[in-house]
Amino acid sequence: MSDKEKNTQLEPSHDDDAANPHARGLMARLRGYLFAGIVVTAPISITVYLTYVFLTFVDSKVVHLLPKDWYDALYGATTFPGLGLVISIAGFIVIGWFATNFLGRLIIRISEYIVDRMPVIRTLYSAIKQIFETIMASQSSAFREVVMLEYPRKGVWSIGFVTGTSQGEVQRMTKVDTVNVFVPTTPNPTSGYLLFVPRKELKYLDMSVEEGVKLVVSAGIISPQDSATKKKK
């Protein structure tokens, strides 16, 4: 075999070179479709799964409050996801209606009087009651505003949520207009730090509380669009 024939056999085929870019392009597109499918499907699937787990948990605890004969007579062997949640909501409505009546208010006052005489339980009850009253009050300013503040040191900024205006001894000792700010931790926003910050050191943001929570939970991955950019559009 001549040297020319050997070189011809060793050289790669031009047809293979032409085919490889198409194959690589196809694989890139398939990989892109795969990632897009995951991005679209994962949030929906996780949301549906967590909702199902929550409803199943509530059902397992609440549905058993119904007499078994009643449940079997109405539904037989059929299981209805969310029935426990419906029963819970209906129960809260009935309790709320009862609590607004004279007899209900009287029972609540007697119960609180008894609890107020218990050393440890009264402190726990009082704290939990104040938290719920603050969050549920329609006129409350708790978690209504998102702010930025220099924390934990100057030059480093953190996201915080205004929970109210400082009052009492805290306000008197600071001698300046002070605001209560809750600085959450990432990715669990239910834990964090309560700071008493001078109002002038806060930068109030236009983003909603929901957008602020998403920003914290996602560790900055989900960043809300700037309101100034929205206005320009």
pLDDT tens per residue across span 81-90: 666 677 777 7
**Whether residue 6 is found in the same domain as residue 79:** yes
**Whether residue 3 is found in the same domain as residue 77:** yes
Of 93, 111, 136, the last residue of a domain is: 136
In-domain check, residue 230: no
In-domain check, residue 96: no
Residue 141: the pLDDT is 56
- Residue 138: pLDDT band by 50, 70, 90 thresholds? very low
CA 228 to chain centre: 25
Distance in angstroms (rounded) separating the CA atoms of residues 147 and 161: 6
Single out the residue of 225, 207, 108, 199 nearest to residue 159, CA to CA: 207
Distance in angstroms (rounded) separating the CA atoms of residues 62 and 85: 8
Single out the residue of 149, 155, 138 nearest to residue 192, CA to CA: 149
**Whether residue 109 is found in the same domain as residue 157:** no
How many structural domains is the chain composed of? Answer: 3
In-domain check, residue 165: yes
Give pLDDT tens digits for 78-127: 556 666 677 777 777 887 787 778 887 888 888 888 888 888 788 877 77
Count Cβ atoms below 10 Å from residue 146 Cβ, excluding itself. Answer: 23
Residue 199: the pLDDT is 94
What is the span of the domain harbouring residue 69? 1-83
Query: Could you tell me the pTM of the whole model?
Result: 0.50
